[in-house]
Chains A and B, each alone.
Chain A
Amino acid sequence: MAEQAIPAWKKWLEGIGEQGVFFTRFVRNIFAGGFEWSEFVRQCYEIGYKSFTLVGITSFIMGLVLILQLRPTMVDFGAESMLPRTLSIALIREIGPVITAIICAGKIASSIGAELGSMKVTEQIDAMEVSGANPVQYLVVTRIIATAVMVPLLTMIGDVIGLFGGYIAINLTDDISFYLYFHKCIASIEFIDLIPAFVKTIFFGFAIGFVGCYKGYNSNKGTESVGIAANSAVVTASLWIFVIDAIAVQVTNLLYY
């Protein structure tokens, strides 16, 4: 038993070390000069624009469902008028960023993992490296930064769409004007709600891009490795999102309350 445990333990430590080396290569290549702007813009389009519909629909349904679920309880307490406030705080502080990040982990981390994994299997990364070009700068830096930029943007758009979903849900049973609803939502949000929520989405985006790139770039050379890289990227990125979220909540509480 002990003999089996040691290699697993060593392997885990090796993995941590490899991720550290990969992170160092990423950081060094950000400042190495010759940033790949065209590839960065292409990745922003692939990551941001192509995820917009999915994030939008999910956020709309999330806002709608939250109001439908909250409403009976709020009515029991005679706090029906608090629905816009409750939704906006829940959505902007927690549900919006986490749900958007989880969707992006499923869509973007898997796609980056599979793409780089298949490039590794078909020796495209080796070909880039052996030609004297810099695959980390071209493939990794652009993808990680694009994800760190686009996930916060998607979250912000998703939050607004989610609030709109809430407005529709309230108007299914009650009657509230568009202006009054959004006035109540915005009035209940403070600066302190927005900044931590925004900052943590940058970390979510970074984690999604980093994990996707690391898993794909370091996949083994075999077709099944592509599937493993994609799957492992989703699982690991999702886990990191919850870990970052837990840390973010603690840090926010320490700083502001």
Chain B
Amino acid sequence: MAEKDDIAVADQSEKVDRNEVVIHIKGLKKSFGDKEVLRDINLDLKRGENVVVLGRSGQGKSVTIQCIAGLLTPDDGELDVFGEPVTEMDEDELKQLRIKLGFLFQSGALYDSMTVRENLEFPLTRVLKLKDQQEIDQRVEEVLEGVGLLDAADKMPSDLSGGMRKRIGLARTLIVKPEIMLYDEPTTGLDPITSREISELILNMQRKFKTSSIIITHDLECAKITADRVLVMNDGEYIAEGSYEELQASDNDFVRSFFNEQK
């Protein structure tokens, strides 16, 4: 009986957790000079959820996640991560928040003066301040195995292909076990097979590390594989929301043309 109660409590907590909003955005605005890039962005990301933001290039998709990570300051609107307003955080608070956030850049952004191993050790020694070399090695091997590049540990980033760089970039982000992942165009510039592999890797990593994710892309295949929910962005705001299948059957002209163009 006690065992059943335990299971019930566990299930309940799982349900509560999955309803917890980890990122709350309301009426977010951002302009660069005269160009209004974000007009009115509204988004709630729940724990464990994968949200894909689709849209054409230059529409401000990446600006949203750069605001979430504190790389850009929004002009107006609410932006809360784990219930705390990002815009009101000081440098130390932002640093603490960033430990819980993972950001995969479009290029992978590997530190090109360091080997793959040094790239992966960097956040462990500088951010988590780990000192035990055995633990560091173990975590490096764990993530390298996770992205299928165990033999690339001693290579320089310049020796890696585009797909491999993205995998290592993903590994470096996941090595600190973030609670939220922000992906900026994770499959751009890759061939269809590698794109699919990266998309599946994102999904596997999300299941393994139980992260919540926002994935910025214009790759429908990536959206199809990874999304729990899809948002379509146009002219600085989200114009449609739903599952991939729902949006595929949408009546909205822009959404329909976006899906049809990429078929």
Residues of A within 8 A of B (CB): 34, 119, 122-124, 126-134, 138
Contacts and interface: CB of A to CB of B under 8 A. Distances in A.
A128 B111 contact: yes
B126 interface: yes
Nearest to B103: A130
B261 interface: no
A133 B122 contact: yes
Contact of B127 (A122, A123, A126, A133): A133
Given A122-B112, A124-B112, A132 B127 contact: yes
A127 B165 CA distance: 14
A145 to B, nearest CB: 18
A130 B107 contact: no
B49 to A, nearest CB: 21
Given A123-B105, A127-B105, A138-B126, A132 B95 contact: yes
Contacts of A124: 109-112
Given A123-B105, A123-B107, A138-B126, A129 B71 contact: yes
A130 B110 contact: no
Contacts of B70: 130
Given A34-B126, A126-B103, 14 more contacts: A122-B107, A124-B111, A124-B112, A126-B71, A127-B103, A127-B109, A131-B127, A131-B176, A132-B99, A132-B123, A133-B122, A133-B123, A133-B127, A134-B126
A130 B70 CA distance: 8
B101 interface: yes
B69 interface: yes
A167 to B, nearest CB: 41
A139 to B, nearest CB: 10
B126 A126 contact: no
B109 A126 contact: yes
Given A133-B127, A134-B126, A138-B126, A122 B98 contact: no
A128 B69 CA distance: 12
Q: Which of B69, B71, B111, B173 has the most CB of A within 10 A?
A: B111
Interface string B115-129: 000000011001100
Contacts of B109: 122-124, 126-127
A165 to B, nearest CB: 35
Contacts of A127: 103, 105, 109, 111, 169
Contacts of B105: 123, 126-127
Interface in B58-99: 69-71, 95-96, 98-99
B170 to A, nearest CB: 12
Nearest to A125: B109
A191 B26 CA distance: 68
Contacts of A132: 95-96, 98-99, 123, 127, 176
Contacts of A129: 71, 98
A131 B124 CA distance: 10
B35 to A, nearest CB: 16
9 contacts: A119-B111, A122-B109, A122-B112, A123-B105, A124-B109, A128-B122, A131-B123, A131-B176, A132-B98
Contacts of A119: 111
7 smallest beta-carbon distances between A and B, as pairs: A127-B109, A132-B98, A123-B109, A133-B126, A132-B99, A132-B127, A130-B103
A130 B182 CA distance: 11
Contacts of A34: 126
A121 to B, nearest CB: 9
A33 to B, nearest CB: 11
